[in-house]
Amino acid sequence: MKLLTRDTDYAVRALVRISRSKNQIVSVTELVKDLKTPRPFLRKILQQLNRNGILVSYKGQGGGFSLARPSHKISVVDLIGVFQGPLEITECLFRKKICPERSTCALRREIGRIEEFAIKQLKDVTIMSLSNGGSRWPRAR
Amino acid sequence: MKLLTRDTDYAVRALVRISRSKNQIVSVTELVKDLKTPRPFLRKILQQLNRNGILVSYKGQGGGFSLARPSHKISVVDLIGVFQGPLEITECLFRKKICPERSTCALRREIGRIEEFAIKQLKDVTIMSLSNGGSRWPRAR
DNA sequence: GACAAATGATACTATTATGGTATCATTATT
DNA sequence: AATAATGATACCATAATAGTATCATTTGTC
């Protein structure tokens, strides 16, 4: 089971890389060099981040991407939202047809609590918190 | 994202149904009637539970399945273990090759905490706790 | 203006996990 | 012997994930 899919993961790395860069604008070419992710896949991911207002893009020679807002305002939860939909681990297993007493179900209740906890914890993990401080992940090699 | 896959879900229902039954031994035929799950799929699931020591099976006419241990000793975590492998939401995204500084990664640390929390909470959700008490899920219809 | 270097958009493909089916063998009761 | 159950195993369908490929558009530089 994975909490983060690969696109979310790549997105995190790319954003951290951009936020650490001296230049505001960073091109895919530059990112691929460090991150060693498949180039067309990374492009698709960055375009999604652009469409979702997390990155701003600049076309043409010398173009690339830059953060659309300060790195401490981009949370891992936001990225999960973009690539995996809202963080929600209960799913539709509990839809009424199958489970007529969902309101009193202990299992459902616990899963709800776990979900809450997960969101609360991940909200504070931002691109900023991953970029500096003790943690130096993910870094270039 | 789903914390429980469908086989785990069906397994929970089947076990609750067995634990509620007046008869020790319950056949697939009987289970399918109430749970409305696809019969061959449910059979496969029960066979897995048997192989993993959660159910005991009886062949031949009048046969079926019964719990291998008291219902309060069968936790949802056990079932996740059978069908989805050990509950582990960090996955291998953080394997060393890709992330050389996993030990100091804030994201990894948080995900680890979420995992711990999930296991702790779900350990106490047992077939017993789902079978009786206020919660009557999942019930027969 | 031509060219090059970048992104935008979109359609396609490959792989894997999930959710099943189908079939035949074996066992036990009657 | 017939029947009603499980055991084992191989197969299949669908969807999600991960990734490719292609062409259009924009923009800076010569």
Which positions in chain A have a beta carbon within 8 angstroms of at least one beta carbon in chain B? 1-4, 6, 9, 12, 76, 84, 87-91, 93, 98-102, 104-108, 110-111, 113-114, 117-118, 121-122, 124-125, 129-130, 133-139, 141
**Spatial CA neighbour of B6 closest among A114, A95, A113, A104:** A95
B132 vs B129, residue with greater confidence: B129
Q: Which of residues 63-92 of B touch strand C (CB under 7 A)?
A: 63, 84
* Chosen from B98, B101, B107, B121 to mutate, greatest number of chain A CBs within 10 A: B107
The band of B15, judged by pLDDT with boundaries at 50, 70 and 90, is: very high
Any residues with CB less than 8 A from the CB of A34 and at least 6 apart, and which?
A: A17, A140, A141
Contact A84 B1 (CB under 8 A): yes
* A91-95, B3-7, B87-91, B104-108: range with lowest mean pLDDT: A91-95
Joined together, the tokens standing for residue B55 give 């159910």
B41 touches strand C (CB under 7 A): yes
The amino acid sitting at A130 is L
Provide the pLDDT for residue B94.
47
Write out the H or E segment, with its range, that includes residue B55.
strand B55-58
Sign of CA dihedral A75, A78, A82, A85: positive
Provide the pLDDT for residue A99.
59
pLDDT, tens digit (0-9, with 9 covering 90-100), for A20-59: 999 999 999 999 998 889 999 999 999 999 999 999 999 9
Flag residues of chain A having pLDDT under 50: 94-97, 134-141
The amino acid sitting at B130 is L
| pTM recorded for the entire structure | 0.87
A83 vs B95, residue with greater confidence: A83
Report whether B122 contacts B77 (CB < 8 A). Answer: yes
Task: Say whether pLDDT at B92 is over 80.
Answer: no
